[in-house]
Amino acid sequence: MGETGVTDSSTLRIEMRGVSKTFPGVRALEKVDLQLKAGEVHALLGENGAGKSTLIKIMTGALPRDEGEIRLDGHPVEINTTADAQALGISTVYQEVNLVPTLTVTKNLTLERQPRRFGLISWGRARALAKQRLKRLNLEIDTERLLGSYPVAIQQLVAIARALEDDTRVLVLDEPTASLDANETELLFKIMRDLKSLGIAIVFITHFIDQVYQVADRISVLRNGRMVGTAPAAELPRLELISMMIGRELAAVEARLATSKSEAGGEPVLAAVGLGRRRTMTPFDIALRAGEVVGLAGLLGSGRTETAKLLFGAIRPDSGQLKVDGKAVKRFSPGHSLRYGILFCPEDRKAEGLVGELTVRENIMLGLQAKRGWMRRVWKDEQKRLTQEMIEALAIATPDAEKPVGQLSGGNQQKVVLARSLVAKPKVLLLDEPTRGIDVGAHAEVVALIRRLCAEGLALLVASSELDELVAVSDRVAVLRDRRKVEEMSGADITRENIIHTIAGG
Amino acid sequence: MSKLKWAGASVAGALMMFAGTSAFAVTIGFSQVGDEGDWRPAFSKDMQEEAKKQGIDLKFADAQGKQEEQLKAVRAFIAQRVDAIIIAPVVVTGWDQVLKEAQRAKIPVFLADRDVDVTDKSLFVARISADFNLEGKLAGAWLAAASKGTCDIVELQGTVGSAPAIERKKGFEAVVSQFPNMKIVRSQSGDFTTEGGKKVMEAFIKATNNLKGICATFAHNDNMQLGAIQAMKEAGLKPSQDVLMVSVDYVPAMKKALAAGEANASVELRSAIGKYIYPVVTDYLKNPKELPKWIVIPSDLHTAQGM
Amino acid sequence: MRALTGHRATWPLLALVVILIVDGIIAPGFFAIRIVEGRLFGTPIDILYRAMPIALIALGMAVVIGSKGIDLSVGSIVAVVGATIAWRIKAGDPHFVILLTALAVGILCGMWNGFLVAVLNIQPIIATLILMVSGRGIGLMINLIYGGTDPSFESPLLQGLSVGSIGYVPTRLILFAGLFVALWLLIRRTALGLFIESVGGNAAAANLAGINARLITFSVYVISGLCTAWAGIILTADVHTSDPVSVALFSELDAILAVVIGGGSLAGGRIYLGMTLLGALVIQTLATSILMSGLPPEYNLLVKAVVVLFVLLLQSNNARDAVFTLFRRRKG
């Protein structure tokens, strides 16, 4: 960046004009224009399937465009491969971490060009280079540990460190904060501000509206493959932004959210007494009742996922008891839980939630089929009917039920995970980060869905890092800290401030 | 027939006069390749039994198919100061050093079965083995006689590139080429297996319109020939009557086939060859003189009529 | 979905047709079928007939590969099954019992593989390598039980199943059709196929969806063992002898190849039974064609490699695109 030395913030760094892209059966982008100034953080917003990822992939050479042109610093450029984009100083950090977890941090950071001495790789210099790259992000970690041994948040920061080159002119961050906690997010924003002062144009894709206003200079909104508009962040009120994104009056959205919290009582459907596992989760008590939502709050790594998995039998407990309808569970496995009517929607869709090669229909049928056993296959007509029902009920955006689920956008994949559980007619539903990485519209739909299910008499557990979401849906909230349940609050005590206070350990 | 047999047997036959006459106890180290296949375990067993019969103290070492084991075994024999060493080599190369060590210790080395590739041929006394080439020649000669020198032949080769396949083919062709009206019209590999022989013969039957004009089948081993016999029977042909069947090995199943009149001839690959090897060694120990570098163990040809 | 299935079969079918056209040119009478000894006789019948063992093994392999596994031990299982048959016949068991014993041996081998992979979590390639290496030795040891000098035998029942015929049709074709339909029903008309594919696609996700991934993984190796045992019965009875050292040598590679030619991916997640059968037919057609061609045997492997490469390139979208692009540039 020293070479170009351009810091004039009014200069157009990169410009995309009239870009269109069609996938089989889907018009992904329709004559989209996007202008990025040098030294700005430009938020790119839109619902799932709006075309954000496609637009970014075209900018970074991961996808060919059907028409349109790209100009870099005023000159037309040809970007046909990711290598082209990198050579032009356009770097990307994709939504799903694209690193090799089984290699060390050093090796991940020097994957494409290892420093060599006498034709051999010099690991000493590689380590130094890795340290230097991490230093830009003020990240001090052991570079010789395997990347996979670090939390997702650290992996994300390593991915950013890897993407940054000395000559980076455009940096694309695709949902970089999806798995970061507040401190890490603040650190990232500081880094983004530093980078923009060097004249780098930063594209920031996110679903967190708060964060947009914290860091973005300008905002562009995509909807259904078209550019709805671009405006300076300071001149765009939140409500207007959200209606630009979802394309309908906000009142309707809020009305859906306004269903009242349910009143629950009676015997717990699922009760854990002293349930725990050494080095995973300190023994805890928790009870879920029909028609009740229990929230699980806590920082990343506080044991939210572990708690849900212990309740589901995916992690085998070594102490305590789990009771379903008052009867003690003897064998712990997902298969057994399923037969008790307990279902689990994992946080990490790609790794644990879905089978990417299988179709939407097949994925949705997995849970029900597992419950029925392999001998009693659900007939094809029934499968189609149930799938169609779910697609309509959850508004899953897919051209048809036979599309491989891996080709759907993130939010729709999340809905498929939900659909899979719902089809199996659960009594207890354990949701781990049900709104992770999904857009505002889908977010509201999922929250509304949680409430509807609750009203239908389901017992729900919602583990989430979004406090507002927990406050909105929960009848009770269990707060976790350092793999220990520290507090359970209910009713009027459930406030954002209270939860933060408890998490902080006051 | 007896003439052909005699050709191979002449050298060893002369030496056999000394068999059983060894008056003093000798110690011989024998480094064997391993125990793959049917033939080699039978060979090992015979070497041990024959040694007992002849009053030889045999030190037997199984190299499990590895040359390094074999080198270790040979060095151990040298250290034990055996009277002679017999090696059935795993591979042909890499022998110079250890053979020099044996020479320095004045222990004579004999090779059984396979050959070695050394620059200085004086490093070993002699190689004693059957001659694949001769087996091919015997089969060819029998066929020339049986067909009176006029014959279109289909050939079932062994595994491509293996020594027996190469040498048996060469020997057979050497004889056949002497007769202008004998020729190999089709040749394919059946990989020395019954299944392979059957598959190839099925294809030959289709490709030659039921072996029309074919007078003989030459197979590089009995297993393939047995497969070919099955294929012919299934196609309604009569092996040994419609087509002459000659092969190599003389395994028990081939004895049955010969007895049943489904095959005509098979050249025996002997596994009981201790009685040919030990006399050469003991005689040399008594009277060390230059021997021919290759002493051929005779091959017998067995025919259906001979049973 | 229908269109997609048609599309998937296009390229392997095209390859098969091309090989057959070449055969028709180089070997007149290639397609002639007559009745000899009361059964159908001719090269096309030979191809079907000879393809059956490898097709059976490949079907089991397709199921294993669908679960993201691999079974390298199939050739050795054939060897053990063959040795067991020869041994029990010498021991004088009723031949019907021997048939069941042979199938049980295959299932047992499959259970061993399944145990290593599913219970001990050993990677499939290593786990099945163990039986691949030891199986032929076990076969030799079984041969030693009765002396092993003459492992040939006669069995009207087993030979009837292998080389006999019902009406004009070879028995093994009829039995294969039966087994193929049974396997297809098991995979596609129960949920087993879906479970295997989900375990192959993403074992962690399948497990969290409530599927017993361990049991499913175990079962695929048993299925493979059973299919292979049937192939072992056919191969052993075909030549009515037991040859543990070389029977079905490299059959695991041909089976994997058949699955891949049929569009299966070693990354797992999909089972294509019909396509695998097509793949096995391509391989056997090629093998028979080479035998018919009269080429010296030194060319066998080379010809096979070149044709297989060609078939796989046909299947690869990237390769096809590259060729079409090149063609277009030439024109332009």
Residue from A174, A156, A163, A169 nearest A52 by CA: A174
Predicted confidence (pLDDT) at residue C161 exceeds the cutoff of 60 = yes
- What pLDDT does residue A208 have? 74
Range of the domain at A24: 9-256
Lowest-pLDDT range of A58-72, A203-217, C259-273: A203-217
Q: Are residues A149 and A290 in the same domain?
A: no
A180-213 tens-digit pLDDT: 777 778 878 888 888 888 888 999 988 777 788 8
Q: Are residues A437 and A454 in the same domain?
A: yes
pLDDT band (50, 70, 90) for residue A231: very high
- What pLDDT does residue B37 have? 63
Q: Is residue A261 part of a domain?
A: no
Average pLDDT for chain B? 87
Read off the pLDDT of each residue in C297-302 and give the average, rounded to a whole number.
88
- For A297, list phi and psi in degrees, rounded to 5: -110, 155
Q: Is residue A347 part of a domain?
A: no
Average pLDDT for chain A? 83
Q: Are residues A361 and A386 in the same domain?
A: yes
C300 to B252: CB separation less than 8 angstroms, yes or no: no
- What pLDDT does residue B258 have? 94
CA angle A361, A362, A367 (to 5 degrees): 105
Read off the pLDDT of each residue in A464-472 and give the average, rounded to a whole number.
80
Q: Is residue A116 part of a domain?
A: yes
According to CATH, the topology of domain C50-316 is ABC transporter involved in vitamin B12 uptake, BtuC (1.10.3470)
- What pLDDT does residue A440 have? 66
Lowest-pLDDT range of A394-408, C1-15, C42-56: C1-15
Predicted confidence (pLDDT) at residue A162 exceeds the cutoff of 90 = no
Read off the pLDDT of each residue in A163-170 and give the average, rounded to a whole number.
83
pLDDT band (50, 70, 90) for residue B21: very low
Residues of C in contact with A331 (CB under 8 A): none
Q: Is residue A50 part of a domain?
A: yes
pTM exceeding 0.80? no
- What pLDDT does residue A506 have? 52
- What pLDDT does residue B148 have? 94
Q: Is residue A3 part of a domain?
A: no
ipTM of the shown complex: 0.83
Q: What are the residue boundaries of the structural domains of chain C, listed by start? A: 50-316
- What pLDDT does residue A7 have? 40
Q: Which residue of A has its CA nearest to C205?
A: A352
Predicted confidence (pLDDT) at residue A123 exceeds the cutoff of 90 = no
Lowest-pLDDT range of A145-159, B180-194, C166-180: A145-159
- Distance of alpha carbon C73 from alpha carbon A190, whole angstroms: 57
Q: Is residue A99 part of a domain?
A: yes
Q: Is residue A348 part of a domain?
A: no
Amino acid at B214: I
Task: Out of C36, C243, C297, name the one closest to residue B236 (CB).
Answer: C36
For residue C60, count other CB atoms closer than 10 A to its CB.
30
- What pLDDT does residue A2 have? 35
Lowest-pLDDT range of A35-49, A95-109, B91-105, C106-120: A95-109
Task: List subunits contacting chain A, requiring 3 or more Cβ pairs under 8 Å.
Answer: C
- What pLDDT does residue C294 have? 83
Predicted confidence (pLDDT) at residue A288 exceeds the cutoff of 80 = yes
CA angle A264, A267, A273 (to 5 degrees): 110
- What pLDDT does residue C331 have? 57
Task: Kindly state whether C184 is in contact with chain A, defined as any CB-CB distance less than 8 angstroms.
Answer: no
Q: Which residue of C has its CA nearest to A313?
A: C208
pLDDT band (50, 70, 90) for residue C327: confident
Mutate to test the interface with C, among A316, A366, A425 (most CBs of C within 10 A): A366
Q: How far is C291 from chain A (nearest CA, A)?
A: 40
Predicted confidence (pLDDT) at residue B298 exceeds the cutoff of 70 = yes
Q: Is residue A2 part of a domain?
A: no
- Distance of alpha carbon C242 from alpha carbon C237, whole angstroms: 9
Q: Are residues A392 and A442 in the same domain?
A: no
- Distance of alpha carbon A357 from alpha carbon A360, whole angstroms: 9
Task: Out of C1, C190, C202, name the one closest to residue A374 (CB).
Answer: C190
Lowest-pLDDT range of B14-18, B194-198, C170-174: B14-18
Domains of chain B, each with CATH number or no CATH: 3-130+271-298 (3.40.50.2300), 132-268 (3.40.50.2300)
Tell me which of C278 and A450 has the higher pLDDT: C278
SS3 state at B220: coil
Tell me which of B251 and A98 has the higher pLDDT: B251
- What pLDDT does residue C7 have? 67
Beta-carbon contacts of C270 under 8 Å, excluding residues fewer than 6 positions away, are A357, C66, C197, C200, C263, C264
Lowest-pLDDT range of A165-174, C167-176, C273-282: A165-174
Task: Out of B189, B207, B223, name the one closest to residue C294 (CB).
Answer: B207
pLDDT band (50, 70, 90) for residue C282: very high
Q: Which residue of A has its CA nearest to C194?
A: A362
Tell me which of C124 and A8 has the higher pLDDT: C124
- What pLDDT does residue C125 have? 95
B195 to C239: CB separation less than 8 angstroms, yes or no: yes
Predicted confidence (pLDDT) at residue C330 exceeds the cutoff of 90 = no
Q: Which two tokens stand for residue A350?
A: 């790609």
B133-173 tens-digit pLDDT: 999 999 999 999 999 999 999 999 998 888 889 999 999 99
- What pLDDT does residue A360 have? 93
C239 to B194: CB separation less than 8 angstroms, yes or no: yes
- What pLDDT does residue A437 have? 65
- How close are the terminal C-alpha atoms of chain B, in Å? 14
Q: Which two tokens stand for residue A45?
A: 């917003």
Lowest-pLDDT range of A173-177, A192-196, A466-470, B85-89: A466-470
- What pLDDT does residue B2 have? 42
- What pLDDT does residue A408 have? 85
Predicted confidence (pLDDT) at residue C1 exceeds the cutoff of 50 = no
pLDDT band (50, 70, 90) for residue A249: very low
B256 to C152: CB separation less than 8 angstroms, yes or no: yes
- Distance of alpha carbon C293 from alpha carbon C291, whole angstroms: 6
Predicted confidence (pLDDT) at residue C216 exceeds the cutoff of 80 = yes
Q: For residue A249, what is the domain's CATH number?
A: 3.40.50.300
A366 to C204: CB separation less than 8 angstroms, yes or no: no
Tell me which of A290 and C74 has the higher pLDDT: C74
- For A282, list phi and psi in degrees, rounded to 5: -65, 140
C201 to A367: CB separation less than 8 angstroms, yes or no: no
How many domains are there within chain A? 3
B193 to C297: CB separation less than 8 angstroms, yes or no: no
A490 sits in which H/E element: strand A484-490
- What pLDDT does residue A262 have? 45
B residues 130-169 lying closer than 8 A (beta carbon) to C: 157, 160-161
Which of A215, A234, A256 marks a domain boundary?
A256
- What pLDDT does residue B306 have? 54
Q: Are residues A459 and A388 in the same domain?
A: no
Which of A372, A404, A425 marks a domain boundary?
A425
Predicted confidence (pLDDT) at residue A151 exceeds the cutoff of 50 = yes
Task: Kindly state whether C205 is in contact with chain A, defined as any CB-CB distance less than 8 angstroms.
Answer: yes
A43-66 core/surface letters (b: 16 or more CB in 10 A; e: else)? bbbbbbbbbbbbbbbbbbbbbebe
- Distance of alpha carbon B275 from alpha carbon A117, whole angstroms: 65
Burial of residue A407 (CB within 10 Å: 0-12, 13-18, 19+) is middle
SS3 state at A445: helix
Q: Are residues A308 and A203 in the same domain?
A: no
Tell me which of C63 and B20 has the higher pLDDT: C63
Q: Are residues A276 and A167 in the same domain?
A: no
DSSP string, C195-257: HHHHHHH-HHHHHHTT--HHHHHHHHHHHHHHHHHHHHHHHHHHHTB--TTTTTTTHHHHHHH
Q: Are residues A311 and A377 in the same domain?
A: no
Under a CB-based contact definition with an 8 Å cutoff, are residues C165 and C237 in contact?
A: no
